[in-house]
Amino acid sequence: MTLQATAPQAAQSVPVEARAQPGCTQTRQVEWITFGLILATYAGWAAVTAWLYPAAPVPAVLLTAVLIAFHASLTHEVLHGHPFPWRRLNEALMFAPLNLAFPYNRFRDLHLAHHQDARLTDPFDDPESNYLDPGDWERLPRWQQRLFAAQNTLLGRMALGPGIGQVRFMAAEWRAARMGDRAVWLAWALHVPGLALVLAWVLLATDMPLWAYLVAAYLGLSLLKIRTFLEHQAHERARGRTVIIEDRGPLALLFLNNNLHVVHHMHPRVPWYRLPRLFAQNRARYLDRNNGYYFRSYGDVFRRHFLRAKDPVPHPLWRRH
């Protein structure tokens, strides 16, 4: 089956109607659990970088990576309208880009565009798709094909994915900026002060060298790749593209229950701590909804795909004409 794809959108700003989707509607009550976690994450990050690193550098780098990944999960909650009923206050909570790599506004706009389920995995209109158009794939040099193929295993996605993803993201952002995309310029203008604040803390208030923090940031992004690795698959029907990983362990907490990903896509306004109960109450419904795209746990994911590709890099159903 060949599906028609439209022109690339990932490098462009997201139209206003995409930002008006249910996924970005504000909550009507204060979610103190999420707010408390945001404050605790910043406090923990400051303590680990400033006080733990001199005493135990390696554990400090690893724990900083975990906190960076957790901050990204909280950022995902914020862009969906949590924890306060006021968008500007929520977004102010994400003033410090701990992972250094992604401006909040760009993450928000591209992720909300991704929530248009009819376009999931589309190499052009889904900004978070890891698939390439088959025609583009065929034109790539052999070494690039091997690189993309290597990151289609879980090990490759964790080891290479943050670097490959950042290069592709920056290239798309540069193209959009050169075309005069004001949303991109604004996002990066807002990103720079926060980035300067994070780097000033690391360089001036801690003994952690910049290279160690960069290692922690890369490891934090690598942890996030575990979550995104199997979130979506190529499928003829949109309902069959989003996964359920029935895990209740530390990775589920790190990802704020986004392993129950089809539940999140169906109810993007529901806070993270209510997703497990919602899934448990309607388990059969959700498994039917996503055509059984299911894994028992992240352990199951590691066993199946740590060294084995989950699917081809060129999208098996989408091809630009």
Q: Is 32 within the bounds of a domain? A: yes
Q: Is 51 within the bounds of a domain? A: yes
User: DSSP secondary-structure letter at 206?
Assistant: -
Pair 262, 233: CB distance under 8 Å: no
Q: Is 290 within the bounds of a domain? A: no
Distance CA 277, CA 81 (A): 20
Q: Which tokens is 244 given? A: 């359920």
Number of domains in the chain: 1
Q: Is 136 within the bounds of a domain? A: yes
User: DSSP secondary-structure letter at 294?
Assistant: E
Q: Is 295 within the bounds of a domain? A: no
Sign of the torsion angle spanned by Cα atoms 179, 133, 264, 220: negative
Distance CA 130, CA 114 (A): 12
Q: Which tokens is 79 given? A: 């862009």
Domain extent at residue 42: 16-228
Pair 320, 292: CB distance under 8 Å: no
The residues, any chain, with a CB within 8 Å of residue 74's CB and separated by 6 or more, are 34, 37, 38, 41, 94, 256
Q: To the nearest whole number, what is the mean pLDDT of the chain?
A: 90
Q: Is 206 within the bounds of a domain? A: yes
Count of other CB atoms within 10 angstroms of residue 300:
14
Q: Is 250 within the bounds of a domain? A: no
Q: Which tokens is 214 given? A: 């960069």
Cα 7 → chain centroid:
23
pLDDT in tens, the chain (321 residues): 233 333 334 333 333 333 333 444 444 689 999 999 999 999 999 999 999 999 999 999 999 999 999 999 999 999 999 999 999 999 999 999 999 999 999 999 999 999 998 999 999 999 999 999 999 999 999 999 999 999 999 999 999 999 999 999 999 999 999 999 999 999 999 999 999 999 999 999 999 999 999 999 999 999 999 999 999 999 999 999 999 999 999 999 999 999 999 999 999 999 999 999 999 999 999 999 999 999 999 999 999 999 999 889 999 987 665
Structure confidence by residue, pLDDT tens digits, 134-155: 999 999 999 999 999 999 999 9
* pTM (whole model) above 0.75: yes
Q: Is 28 within the bounds of a domain? A: yes
Instruction: Please report the pLDDT score of residue 1 as a whole number.
Output: 29
> What amino acid occupies position 156?
G
